[in-house]
């Protein structure tokens, strides 16, 4: 089994959701409060995980721009839960690199009036442990 197939299986197992349930309606992306800031939108995460195209997702800042508000989860008519795929890819990257993405001394440089404070608080909460 190749690395990418194993990675796909790990991400799907970690998310705990079947990406094949997605009907690509885009409701998750339409409701995402930070969707305009993301290179890959929630529905694209689901589609790319389904295809096994995980590496580009691991190399995008979109995994850190997700607010983990789960608005996409609430809006999905099929229960696909895109935020769980985003978090699963984020965890896969952290495991691969072996360290946290956000450190406390990096926060002052990230402060921006256009960036929701929730994004920084959420990222710090998840990646400071």
56-70 pLDDT, tens per residue? 999 999 998 999 899
| Both tokens assigned to 61 | 């800042």
Quick one: pLDDT at residue 119? 74
Residue 35 contacts by C-beta under 8 Å, 6 or more apart in sequence?
29, 41, 42
Q: Is the pTM of this model over 0.75?
A: no
Q: Who wins on pLDDT, 109 or 91?
A: 91
Name the residue ranges covered by the structural domains of the chain: 3-127
Cα separation, 92 vs 86, in Å, equals 10
Cα separation, 52 vs 10, in Å, equals 11
pLDDT confidence tier of residue 128, bands split at 50, 70 and 90: very low
Question: Is 3-127 a domain of CATH 1.10.10?
Answer: no
> For residues 69 and 79, is the Cβ–Cβ distance under 8 A?
no
Q: Who wins on pLDDT, 86 or 120?
A: 86
């Amino acid at each position: 089994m190749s690395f990418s197939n194993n990675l796909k299986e790990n991400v799907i197992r970690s998310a705990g959701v079947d990406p094949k349930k997605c009907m690509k309606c885009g409701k998750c992306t339409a409701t995402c409060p930070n969707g305009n800031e993301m290179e890959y939108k929630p529905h694209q995460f689901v589609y790319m995980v389904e295809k096994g195209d995980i590496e580009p997702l691991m190399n995008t800042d979109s995994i850190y721009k997700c607010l983990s508000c789960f608005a996409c989860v609430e809006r999905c008519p099929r229960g696909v839960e895109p935020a769980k795929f985003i978090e699963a890819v984020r965890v896969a990257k952290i495991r691969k690199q072996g360290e946290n993405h956000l450190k406390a001394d990096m926060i002052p440089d990230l402060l921006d009036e256009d960036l929701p404070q929730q994004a920084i608080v959420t990222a710090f909460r998840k990646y400071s442990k």
